[in-house]
Amino acid sequence: MTRLVARALAFGYRHHPVGDGVDLDVGGGGVLCLLGPNGSGKTTLFKTLLGLLPRLGGHIELDGRDIATLPHVQVARHLAYVPQGHESVFPYSVHDMVVMGRSAHRGLFSGPTASDRARATDALAELGIADLAGRDYTHLSGGQRQLVLIARALAQDAPLIVMDEPTASLDFGNQLLVLEQVVRLARRGLGIVLSTHNPDHALRCATRVLLLKDGRLLASGRPDDALSEPALSAVYGVAVRVERLSDGQRVCVARDAAVAG
Sorted by where each starts, the structural domains of the chain and their CATH numbers stand as 3-223 (3.40.50.300), 228-261 (no CATH)
The pLDDT of residue 26 is above 60: yes
Over range 122-128, report the average pLDDT: 92
The answer to whether 199 and 25 are in contact (CB under 8 A) is no
Q: Where are the extended beta strands (E) located within 153-239? A: 160-163, 191-196, 208-213, 216-221
Mean model confidence pLDDT for the chain: 90
The answer to whether 123 and 206 are in contact (CB under 8 A) is no
Report the SS3 class of residue 214: coil
Given this model, what pLDDT does residue 67 score?
Answer: 92
10 Å CB burial of residue 162 (0-12, 13-18, 19+) is buried
DSSP conformation class of 134: T
Report the SS3 class of residue 31: strand
The pLDDT of residue 19 is above 70: yes
* Full-model pTM: 0.89
Given this model, what pLDDT does residue 88 score?
Answer: 67
